[in-house]
């Protein structure tokens, strides 16, 4: 005998409660929480519609998230989309940047293993060109959450590199 009463079916299996919760979570969009289910079921109109006397606990909401195929995990990540393959960008690189680098290359020194100069031949030009490359990092005011409740049917999709205002730090 069960000390806490008798039951054999979850409330999620009765009626359209699971569907209503799914609709509510979809209205929240990407970052859903188990607490959102608790808050949703605390609304008097929802309780009346589904015949509930009170809301559920956070632990129950977390179990229900699993029953509804959500998992607390990293977001499925797709490719970054930043426009570097746009036709105008590709054309600019091929017609302007790469020819310029090729033209400057004859004025540059080349190195073996980064220690000794590759050629002992005198350069026809007296001034050398040093081509500087830099690495950069961008920090965003509203960085994405990496771990949250993800439905099992969620698939990776391309997304922009950042969200919100940004601060770029470059290092040469």
Residue 40 has pLDDT above 80, yes or no: yes
Q: How confident is the model at residue 8 (pLDDT cuts 50, 70, 90)?
A: low
Residue 36 pLDDT exceeds 80: yes
pLDDT higher than threshold 70 for residue 160: no
The token pair that represents 58 in the structure block: 């956070």
Report whether pLDDT(78) > 80. no
Percentage of the chain beyond pLDDT 70 is: 66
Q: What is the pLDDT of residue 42?
A: 94
138 contacts: CB under 8 Å, gap ≥ 6: 161, 162, 166, 167, 168, 169
Higher pLDDT, 99 or 160: 99
pTM above 0.75, yes or no: no
Strands 135-140 and 116-117: unpaired
In the predicted structure, residue 146 carries a pLDDT above the cut 70: no
What local confidence, expressed as pLDDT, does residue 57 receive?
A: 93
Residue 129 CB partners (closer than 8 Å, separation 6+)? 104, 107, 108
């Amino acid at each position: 005998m069960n000390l806490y009463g008798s039951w054999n079916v979850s409330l999620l299996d009765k009626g359209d409660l699971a569907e209503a919760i799914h609709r509510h979570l979809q209205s929240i969009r990407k970052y859903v929480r188990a607490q959102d289910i608790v808050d949703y079921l605390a609304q008097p109109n929802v309780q009346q519609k589904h015949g509930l006397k009170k809301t559920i606990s956070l632990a129950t909401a977390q179990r229900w998230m699993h029953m509804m195929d959500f998992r607390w995990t990293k977001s499925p990540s797709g490719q970054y989309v930043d426009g570097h393959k746009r036709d105008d960008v590709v054309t600019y690189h091929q017609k302007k940047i790469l020819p310029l680098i090729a033209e400057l290359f004859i004025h540059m020194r080349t190195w073996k293993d980064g220690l000794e100069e590759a050629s002992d031949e005198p350069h026809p030009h007296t001034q050398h060109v040093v081509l500087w490359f830099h690495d950069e990092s961008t920090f965003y005011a509203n960085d994405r959450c990496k771990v949250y409740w993800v439905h099992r049917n969620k698939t990776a999709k391309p997304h922009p590199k950042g969200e919100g205002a940004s601060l770029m730090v470059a290092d040469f």
